[in-house]
Amino acid sequence: MSNLPEARKDIELESVSYRSSVAESTFQTMGASINFVNRRQYDSHQFNYNGLTRLFVGSEAADGVFICQFDMQVTAVSAFLRTGGSSSSIRFDIRRITSPETTGTSIFSTEPEIDSTGGNNNYFIQDFLNNNTVAQGTGITLPVASVTDLDAGDVLQCVIEQAMPDAEDFMVVVHFRPR
């Protein structure tokens, strides 16, 4: 069975008014709209490392951690570096903590990395849901996710594994949706 194409469509009053027949097109409109929401609904959480002094090896939980309130699926991860550094690279990890008083494990099988060959305003967007690279700047190793399904009560923590000297204003965004 194939899916209806996703589309944001309004249901017209005439197609559902009293004593009107329910047309096939009404159900197709409803199905297309539901598919649109199911495939495109998401939220995001940002981990921000602002300024020069915040970006160092072992930096954990910039702007806190993200606690999963409900079962969810990570749909994408993106990162943005405003000012590139003089050498080396930034490599970061997102750790999933599944129970209190533990250190957690990586959600990646390949950790993302941005090296100094890229200039300022360098970024990537990796879509795990559609296995698609939306954007990728110079000198970027894209993340490969090993875990995308998270459970209510899980905690996500962003950790800088390797820092780029003189880099400023780095942001990591985790995009997710309910499952």
Mind spelling out the 3-state secondary structure of the chain?
A: CCCCCCCCCCCCHHHCCCCCCCCHHHHHHHHHHHHHHHHHCCEEEEEEECCCCCCCCCCECCCCCEECCCCEEEEEEEEEEEECCCCCEEEEEEEEECCCCCCCEECEEECCEEECCCCCCEEEEEECCCCEEEEECCCEECCEECCCEECCCCEEEEEEEECCCCCEEEEEEEEEEEC
| Angle ∠(135,138,140) on CA atoms, nearest 5 | 75
Tokens of 23: 């047309």
Model confidence at 159: pLDDT above 80: yes
Q: How does the average pLDDT of the chain come out, rounded?
A: 86
Model confidence at 24: pLDDT above 50: yes
Model confidence at 4: pLDDT above 80: no
Q: Is this model's pTM higher than 0.85 or not?
A: no
Structure confidence at residue 53 (pLDDT) = 46
Query: Domain coordinates of the chain in residue numbers?
Result: 1-41, 43-178
Model confidence at 69: pLDDT above 60: yes
C-beta of residue 152 within 8 angstroms of C-beta of residue 32: no
Structure confidence at residue 31 (pLDDT) = 78
Distance between CA atoms of residues 61 and 143, nearest Å: 19
Structure confidence at residue 50 (pLDDT) = 78
Distance between CA atoms of residues 97 and 152, nearest Å: 11
State the CATH class of domain 43-178: mainly beta
pLDDT tens per residue, range 131-150: 999 999 999 999 999 999 99
110 compared with 18, residue with greater pLDDT: 110
